[in-house]
Chain A
Amino acid sequence: MTRLTRFTRTTAFKLSLLYIAVFTLLSGFLLIYISENTDRLMSEQVVQTIDAELKGLSDIYVRGGVRDLVETIDRRTRHPDASLYLLVDFAGNALVGNIARLPTTVLEEADGGIRRVHYTRLGQDSPDTQRQAMVRTFELRGGFRLLVGRDLGDQLTFSHLLGNALRLWLIVVVAMGAMTWLFVSQRVMKRIDEITDTSRTIMTGDLTGRLPIAGNDDEFDRLAVSLNTMLDRIELLMRSMKDVTDNIAHDLKTPLTRLQTRVETALRQAEGQSCYKEALEETLSETDHLLRIFNALLRIARIESMAPGEVMERTDINNLINEVSELYEPLVEDEGGVLETHVCDGLEAVCQKDLVFQGLVNLIENALKYGRPMDGEFRIRISAEEREGRTVLSVSDTGPGIPEKDQDRVKDRFVRLDESRSEPGTGLGLSLVKAVARLHGGELQLTNGDPGLVARIDLTRAKPGSSGSSNGHGGKSDGAEPKPE
Chain B
Amino acid sequence: MLQILVIEDDHEAANYLAKGLSELGHRADKADDGETGLQMALDRDYDILIVDRMLPKRDGLAVIEELRKSGNHTPVLILSALGQVDDRVTGLKAGGDDYLPKPYAFTELQARVEALARRPKSASQVETTYTVGDLTLDRMAHSCRRGDMEIPLQPREFRLLEYLMQHAGQVVTRTMLLENVWEYHFDPQTNVIDVHISRLRGKIDKGFDVPLLHTIRGAGYTIRDTAH
Neighbour of B186 across the interface among A298, A334, A358, A485, CB < 8 A: A358
Assembly CA distance A334 to B190 (angstroms): 13
CB–CB A361/B85 < 8 A: no
- Known A-B contacts A295-B83, A311-B86, A482-B59; A354 and B186 likewise in contact (beta carbons under 8 Å): yes
CB–CB B86/A310 < 8 A: yes
Which residue of chain B lies nearest to A302 when distances are taken between CB atoms in the complex? Answer: B84
CB–CB A327/B182 < 8 A: yes
Tell me if B184 counts as interface (CB < 8 A to partner A): yes
Tell me if A7 counts as interface (CB < 8 A to partner B): no
B56-100 interface mask toward A, CB cutoff 8 Å, 1 = contact, 0 = none? 000111100000000000000000111111110110010000000
CB–CB A295/B184 < 8 A: no
Tell me if A425 counts as interface (CB < 8 A to partner B): yes
Assembly CA distance A358 to B53 (angstroms): 25
A348-373 interface mask toward B, CB cutoff 8 Å, 1 = contact, 0 = none? 00001111011001100100100000
Tell me if A299 counts as interface (CB < 8 A to partner B): yes
Tell me if B125 counts as interface (CB < 8 A to partner A): no
A173-216 interface mask toward B, CB cutoff 8 Å, 1 = contact, 0 = none? 00000000000000000000000000000000000000000000
CB–CB B81/A327 < 8 A: no
Tell me if A328 counts as interface (CB < 8 A to partner B): yes
Tell me if A15 counts as interface (CB < 8 A to partner B): no
Neighbour of A357 across the interface among B53, B62, B103, B186, CB < 8 A: B186
For B87, list chain A residues within 8 Å (CB).
483
CB–CB B191/A331 < 8 A: yes
Neighbour of B189 across the interface among A327, A355, A429, CB < 8 A: A429
Which residue of chain A lies nearest to B193 when distances are taken between CB atoms in the complex? Answer: A327
A443-485 interface mask toward B, CB cutoff 8 Å, 1 = contact, 0 = none? 0000000000000000000000000000001101110101111
Tell me if B195 counts as interface (CB < 8 A to partner A): yes
CB–CB B156/A354 < 8 A: no
- Known A-B contacts A354-B186, A477-B93; A311 and B192 likewise in contact (beta carbons under 8 Å): no
B143-187 interface mask toward A, CB cutoff 8 Å, 1 = contact, 0 = none? 000000000000010000000000000000000000000101111
- Known A-B contacts A357-B184, A482-B59; A365 and B86 likewise in contact (beta carbons under 8 Å): no
CB–CB B53/A482 < 8 A: yes
For B81, list chain A residues within 8 Å (CB).
485
Main secondary structure of the interface of A (DSSP, over half): helix
Assembly CA distance A74 to B207 (angstroms): 153
Assembly CA distance A296 to B87 (angstroms): 16
Assembly CA distance A330 to B193 (angstroms): 10
Neighbour of A477 across the interface among B86, B186, B187, CB < 8 A: B86
Tell me if A109 counts as interface (CB < 8 A to partner B): no
Tell me if B54 counts as interface (CB < 8 A to partner A): yes
Which residue of chain A lies nearest to B196 when distances are taken between CB atoms in the complex? Answer: A330
CB–CB B85/A484 < 8 A: no
Assembly CA distance A358 to B84 (angstroms): 13
CB–CB A299/B84 < 8 A: yes
CB–CB A424/B189 < 8 A: yes
- The A-contacting residues of B in range 27-63, CB under 8 angstroms, are 53-54, 59-62
Most A CB contacts (10 A, CB to CB) among B53, B59, B61, B86 go to B86
Which residue of chain A lies nearest to B92 when distances are taken between CB atoms in the complex? Answer: A477
Tell me if A59 counts as interface (CB < 8 A to partner B): no
Which residue of chain B lies nearest to A482 when distances are taken between CB atoms in the complex? Answer: B61
CB distance from A49 to the nearest CB of B (A): 94
- Known A-B contacts A354-B185, A485-B54; A334 and B156 likewise in contact (beta carbons under 8 Å): no
For B53, list chain A residues within 8 Å (CB).
482, 485
CB–CB A326/B156 < 8 A: yes
Assembly CA distance A473 to B184 (angstroms): 14
For B62, list chain A residues within 8 Å (CB).
482
CB distance from B200 to the nearest CB of A (A): 10
Which residue of chain A lies nearest to B104 when distances are taken between CB atoms in the complex? Answer: A291
Tell me if A323 counts as interface (CB < 8 A to partner B): yes
CB–CB A485/B80 < 8 A: yes
Most A CB contacts (10 A, CB to CB) among B103, B186, B188 go to B186
CB–CB A365/B189 < 8 A: yes
For A355, list chain B residues within 8 Å (CB).
85
B1-38 interface mask toward A, CB cutoff 8 Å, 1 = contact, 0 = none? 00000000000000000000000000000000000000
A402-438 interface mask toward B, CB cutoff 8 Å, 1 = contact, 0 = none? 0000000000000000000000111001000000000
- Known A-B contacts A302-B84, A365-B190, A482-B60; A330 and B199 likewise in contact (beta carbons under 8 Å): yes
- The B-contacting residues of A in range 308-359, CB under 8 angstroms, are 310-311, 323, 326-328, 330-331, 334, 352-355, 357-358
CB–CB B186/A361 < 8 A: yes
Which residue of chain B lies nearest to A285 when distances are taken between CB atoms in the complex? Answer: B218
For B60, list chain A residues within 8 Å (CB).
482
CB–CB B186/A323 < 8 A: no
For A424, list chain B residues within 8 Å (CB).
189
CB–CB B195/A334 < 8 A: yes
CB–CB A331/B190 < 8 A: yes
For A485, list chain B residues within 8 Å (CB).
53-54, 80-82
Neighbour of B89 across the interface among A326, A328, A353, A473, CB < 8 A: A473
Most A CB contacts (10 A, CB to CB) among B80, B81, B184 go to B184
Most A CB contacts (10 A, CB to CB) among B62, B83, B156, B188 go to B188
Assembly CA distance A306 to B199 (angstroms): 39
For A477, list chain B residues within 8 Å (CB).
86, 89-90, 93
For B191, list chain A residues within 8 Å (CB).
331
For B195, list chain A residues within 8 Å (CB).
330-331, 334
- The B-contacting residues of A in range 281-301, CB under 8 angstroms, are 291, 295-296, 298-299
Assembly CA distance A365 to B190 (angstroms): 7
- Known A-B contacts A473-B89, A480-B90, A482-B60; A368 and B190 likewise in contact (beta carbons under 8 Å): yes
CB distance from A225 to the nearest CB of B (A): 34
CB–CB A484/B54 < 8 A: yes
Which residue of chain B lies nearest to A329 when distances are taken between CB atoms in the complex? Answer: B195
Assembly CA distance A331 to B93 (angstroms): 34
Known A473-B89, A480-B90; further 7 A-B contacts with Cβ < 8 A: A311-B86, A327-B196, A328-B192, A330-B199, A331-B195, A476-B86, A482-B53
A-B contact pairs, 19 of them (CB 8 A): A291-B103, A299-B84, A311-B89, A323-B184, A328-B192, A330-B195, A330-B196, A331-B190, A353-B184, A354-B184, A354-B186, A355-B85, A357-B184, A358-B184, A365-B188, A365-B190, A424-B189, A478-B93, A485-B53
